[in-house]
Amino acid sequence: MIFEHLRLDLQEGILIVTLDRESALNAINMATMDSLHRLFGQYIPDHDEITGVVLTGAGPKAFAAGADIKEFAEFSAQEGKHLSAKGHETYFLIEKSRVPVIAAVNGYALGGGCELAMACHMRIAGEHAKFGQPEVNLGLIPGYGGTQRLIQYIGKGKALELLLTADLINAEEALRLGLVNHVVPSGQEVETSRKLLLRISEKGPVAVRKVIEAVNAYFTEATDGFHFEVESFGYACGTQDFREGASAFVEKRKPQFTGH
């Protein structure tokens, strides 16, 4: 499968995905969106050897400086709506991925780029990273979930402030607000993310998947997250992974999970 504008590198089960349009600060054009859609919709689900994904941007300046302004500048209302729906679909595929996805934010994460980072399960920021939703500067609103996910991380008041002023925040402020999980020295974003995912890859794969699903359930309209947790707990109790995890504890050894 060919993924335009993406570079892939599989290391010890962790897939490093690099947005590869450095000359445009990795701005997300339609081809990139299509690649992300196929990657998370088909490729990753079809490859069981992938236990985690790191998403980052090429070069030292940007994770992604937004949707590609040059491409969407001439869009009609109908085209805009269509593209927004496609973006939502893609970002939901990331959020619902069976394996954890970490955004390694190595610079600007603006507009559609910030929205992409927010669709990931966790964010590790380099110390020079900058975050923002500057759409109102262009007479637009976020079109890839920014109005919804920013609230989930930083709360309504602060989200409204950032969305309405288009102000950018630095990595430390993003950490303070709860938008990112950790801030690391520039250049160490990917390695820190990879190590975190390697630790998670030692856990029971079914449990990891069910935790992601249960946390997502909290934010899914008409889904009772507590009920979902009860069902998922029961499911996990019936797995070989749980037998193995419990036996390994009793026998004082490391568990060998199979994901069944």
Q: Which residues bind ligand DAK (CB under 6 A)?
A: 24-25, 27, 65-70, 72, 75, 80, 83-84, 87, 108, 110-112, 134-135, 138, 140, 143-144
Q: Which is nearer to ligand DAK, 128 or 209 (CB)?
A: 128
Nearer to ligand DAK, 6 or 110 (CB): 110
Q: Which is nearer to ligand DAK, 22 or 244 (CB)?
A: 22
DSSP string, 215-257: HHHHTSTT--HHHHHHHHHHHHHTSHHHHHHHHHHHTTS----
**DSSP label at residue 114:** H
- Compute the least distance from the CB of residue 174 to ligand DAK, in Å: 16
Q: Among this protein's residues, is 135 annotated catalytic?
A: yes
Least distance from ligand DAK to the Cβ atom of residue 197, Å: 27
Residue nearest to ligand DAK (CB): 111
Contact 22, 210 (CB under 8 A): no
From the list 95, 135, 189, 213, the catalytic residue is 135
Sheet of 101-105, strands arranged across: 6-11, 14-19, 52-57, 101-105, 122-126, 182-184
Closer to ligand DAK at the Cβ: 52 or 112? 112
At closest approach, how far in Å is the CB of 28 from ligand DAK?
A: 7
Least separation in angstroms between residue 162's CB and ligand DAK is 12
- In DSSP terms, 62 is beta-bridged to 108
* Active-site residue, selected from the candidate residues 95, 115, 189, 213: 115
State CA 218 to chain mean position distance. Answer: 17
Residues 187 and 223: their CA atoms lie apart, in Å, by 40
Q: State yes or no: is 74 an active-site residue.
A: no
Measured distance CA(94)–CA(102) in Å, rounded: 10
Residues noted as catalytic: 115, 135
